[in-house]
Structure 1
Amino acid sequence: MTDLDALTKLEAAINSHDANSVAACFSADYVSETPHHPSRNFEGRATVLRNWTAILSRFPNLTARVLRRAITGDEVWSEWAMDGTAGDGTSAGIVGPVIWRTDSNGLVTWARFYLEPATDEPIRPS
C-alpha cells in the first residue's frame, strides 16, 4: 500500500461514519501532535477510536475531503476539509493541513494536525 493509498483509505473510513474503520487506519503506537493545542497530543489507536466515536456521535453526517496532497520524503502532506451538522442543528467546519507518516503496512504512525474551525458554513474546495 502506498502512502497515497493510505490517505484515500483514511478519507473513505471517515466518510463511512464507522469509528472502528477510522481507528483501523492507525498503528497501535500512533503518535498525534497538535502544535496549536499541545494539551491535545496523545498516543495510541485506542484514543483514535475514542475520539472518532465521539466526533461521529456528535456529527453523524460528517463529510471529509482531501483537497490537496503531496509526498515529500517519508511524509504525506494533505489539506483536509470536514463539515457536518450536530443533532441540535449546529454546523461545524474544519479545514487545514495534516502531515503524517505511515509504516510498511500503510498504517498511520505519526501525525501533526493543524486543523482548525473555519466557519459555520460548509467548506468548499477551491
Structure 2
Amino acid sequence: MVAQRLWQAINDHDLDAFVECFCPDYRSAQPAHPARAFQGREQARKNWSAFFRQIPDLRAELLGTAHTDGTEWSEWHWHGTRQDNTPFEMRGVIVMGLQGDCVSWARLYMEEVDAGGEDIESAVRRLAGPGHDDHE
C-alpha cells in the first residue's frame, strides 16, 4: 500500500522516498480549504521539505487503511515539535487515487488538533446559527 510507504518516508524524514510516492502530475485537494489545492509532486516536495526542516521530530502514525478499486483510504496522526518549541499536531483522513504504484490524486481531510476548542454544544450552536434550539 502506498500509505505504508508514505508512513515510512515521513518517519525516516526521507524526502526523496516521500516524493517518489507521487505521480509527476499529482493533483492535491483539501476540500475544506480549497485555496490549498495544487498540482505536481514538486510542490509536495517543497511542502514536506518545510515540514521536515521545521519539525525535526515529526512522526506519523498510520491509524488505519483501506483499499478498493484503485483508491486508498488512510487515517493519520502527525505530531512533533516545531523549531520554536510549539507543538505540531494534525489528525485526519486522506483519500488517494492510485495509478500503478504512485498517487495520482489525493483529497486531504487533515486538520490541526484543537484540544482546547469548543465543546459539541457550542459547535452545534455556532454551526446551526441563531435560533437552532428554539424547538427544544
Q: Same fold (TM over 0.5)?
A: yes
Matched with 1:123 is none
Which residues of 2 match residues 1-126 of structure 1 at below 5 A?
4=1, 6-104=2-100, 106-119=101-114
Q: Deviations over 1:89-117 (max 9, x none)?
A: 1111100000001111x111110000001
TM-superposed deviation, 1:71? 1.5
Q: Deviations over 1:3-35 (max 9, x none)?
A: x2x221111011111222211111100000000
* Identity %, equivalent residues: 37
Q: Over alpha carbons, which structure has the higher Rg?
A: 2
**Runs of 4+ in structure 1 over 4 Å off:** none
The one of the two structures with greater contact order (alpha-carbon pairs below 8 A, sep at least 6) is 1
Indicate the SS of the match to 1:115.
strand
* Alpha-carbon separation, structure 2, partners of 1:36 and 1:12: 27
Q: Which sections of structure 2, spanning at least 5 residues, go unmatched?
A: 116-136
TM-score normalised per structure 1: 0.86
TM-score normalised per structure 2: 0.80
Give the total of aligned pairs. 116
